[in-house]
Chains A and B, each alone.
Chain A
């Protein structure tokens, strides 16, 4: 592994037990290999239930993987426990989708922000002075410090949630749908703030969202997930311009384009139906039940994720050598 890789996962799996059944399992993440380079943003897109949020929680060790390994700065963190795990969390943090529920309504903004500082026993000198400085980083002021979350707008709350994540100066932040509950004008503010913080604090992001336009704007590389697996990874601009995997093509052609001429002239790849259940995914390639280019091999064997051109990997028999 080269030294510019910050995080790498190999064969990562997470199965959840289905309540009321001994054998049924939801294969939320089912064998994912990926890496994230220092300073880049890896976007993860896919439809609901594809396992993107589970993947984000796994790499942060918020939940334990069923199998597979996770490396952070070349260190195997799959089995970390206790103090060592907390030490990892100083370097790897998360921002959740809904700031209304991720901030404790009974705590003031100041106490919310001091919690990670106390947890990691960091020396900050005068707390108020420190917090005021930190608040400026996310465009808030001292006057917000002693307010409660309900006194802030949605955008301000998300700024606080972001600040809480970066206040220990982590190297890596998982952003799970950070702007999905915000209005477009506020969304733009938050996205610009995240980019700005990434530059200033040399952060590495994993940006999870179902909004492909936003992910493409934010990310260096993009991974497309379908039913617990990565079907395609590549540089975001290239991937959007020339998707290989039939599912990626289908997914991208469904993204609404805010330009009437482009929107009305492009051809939409139509695939009916919805993804099958992750409890009992189809054998072979998981997309074969809906794929317009399905071949015999797709029904029997799972396609490997192989490199088709510089930096682009695709898991599809159309591009794999058999």
Chain B
């Protein structure tokens, strides 16, 4: 029996109460504990957080790319497919999921060097990706398309570059090739996990501009994972701030930047220097990220929070609405 799912108009992906745990020898790591978010068609959302906050695990769990000792414990991930049908990615058959991965949902990972196979040319990578989803395609046609894709991602002289091996390219060019591969089947959802972290700012700007343009042209929904608030301000429509495996605040980009509510968001925004302003002092958040094996009780941020009360140490705060689309999980908002 096929279960019927429904999604609001225009919503591409909706994740609810995702829980992922890793069963290690040191103990159970609560990597993602109840994360919910959605992506609309053609929209860019940003998942923001520091190392180990669970942002990468969250996006990998969407297409069940979690390997042992990790396990997706619970949650729902509804995805609207190209043909209009709606599936729960966490429960759908593996062969259906395999059709979705790389075709309707594509990933761009942080490190382009490990994402590319050193034994194959860039053209072959693209051919392989297309072939996996369209077995009828010939190498000749695929290579022609590959050249077109490489041109789209602004690789100079794509006719010769298509025959290059990864080691023959610079880091920036490799990352652009990875983007070309991810776009080879025109996905509906693109998950970009720190796509520019190892690149120079000038290349970073080129790649982000490029992603934005391709996304608008093709109405691709995008999940942008980053810790760089500048990139968020420039590219995201909506923002989710993550801390220790939970979303602590979400809202439209302007709401998050101009009216942050959660103390973590506030401190994070004051911890990064804004080069257009004359900043006297950066706000350093005291302490470090808690261990996810033994997370603190109550609000996970309370050991570092300057406003923590006794209640924060006991009870976990639910979301409180701030304005339309804007909510934060902090007890300080309770009485409003």
Contacts and interface: CB of A to CB of B under 8 A. Distances in A.
B230 A263 contact: yes
B273 A259 contact: no
A185 B170 contact: no
Interface string B164-185: 0000001011000000000000
Contacts of B172: 274
Given A183-B51, A185-B267, A212 B234 contact: no
Interface in A201-256: 210, 212-214, 216-217, 237, 240, 250-256
A240 B275 CA distance: 7
Contacts of A217: 273, 275, 279, 282
B268 interface: yes
Interface stretch (B13-21, B200-208, B327-335): B200-208
B234 A257 contact: yes
Interface string A182-208: 011111110110000000000000000
Interface string B231-261: 1111000000000000000000110011000
Interface stretch (A15-23, A265-273, A303-311): A265-273
A252 B156 CA distance: 24
A13 B154 CA distance: 34
A251 B273 CA distance: 17
A153 interface: yes
Nearest to A247: B202
B284 interface: yes
A216 B230 CA distance: 15
B207 to A, nearest CB: 11
B11 interface: no
A256 B228 contact: yes
A1 interface: no
Nearest to B304: A185
B271 interface: yes
B276 A257 contact: yes
Interface residues of B, number: 46
B315 interface: no
Interface in B263-278: 267-269, 271-276, 278
A98 interface: no
Contact of B284 (A189, A257, A259, A264): A189
Contact of B276 (A186, A262, A272, A274): A262
Given A213-B275, A237-B278, A274-B172, A185 B50 contact: yes
B73 interface: no
B205 to A, nearest CB: 4
Nearest to B53: A183
Contacts of A262: 233, 276
A252 B204 CA distance: 12
Given A216-B273, A251-B202, A260 B288 contact: no
A156 B281 CA distance: 21
A255 B288 CA distance: 27
Given A188-B285, A217-B279, A250-B202, A264 B272 contact: no
B202 A254 contact: yes
A254 B170 contact: no
A293 to B, nearest CB: 17
Given A263-B233, A274-B170, A251 B279 contact: no
Given A185-B285, A212-B275, A217-B279, A251 B201 contact: yes
B94 interface: no
A229 to B, nearest CB: 17
B209 interface: yes
Contacts of B203: 47, 274
Given A48-B200, A186-B288, A192-B284, A259 B156 contact: no
B202 A259 contact: no
Nearest to A277: B170
A28 to B, nearest CB: 16
Interface string A258-302: 111111100010111110000000000000000000000000000
A216 B253 CA distance: 25
Q: Which of A155, A253, A256, A264 neighbours the largest number of chain B CB atoms within 10 Å of its CB?
A: A256
Given A47-B202, A254-B202, A257-B274, A272 B234 contact: no
A282 B51 CA distance: 41
A259 B233 contact: yes
A213 B200 contact: no
Contacts of A271: 202
B253 A185 contact: no
A188 B200 contact: no
Contact of A258 (B254, B257, B283): B257
Given A217-B275, A258-B269, A271-B202, A183 B289 contact: yes
A258 B233 contact: yes
20 contacts: A47-B201, A153-B288, A184-B227, A184-B229, A184-B272, A185-B50, A188-B283, A210-B201, A213-B273, A214-B273, A251-B202, A252-B275, A254-B201, A255-B230, A255-B275, A257-B233, A258-B232, A258-B269, A261-B254, A262-B276
Given A184-B50, A187-B271, A210-B201, 6 more contacts: A185-B267, A240-B275, A253-B205, A256-B228, A256-B230, A259-B276
Interface of B: 50-51, 154, 156, 170, 172-173, 200-206, 209, 227-234, 253-254, 257-258, 267-269, 271-276, 278-279, 281-286, 288-289
Interface of A: 47-48, 153, 155, 183-189, 191-192, 210, 212-214, 216-217, 237, 240, 250-264, 268, 270-274
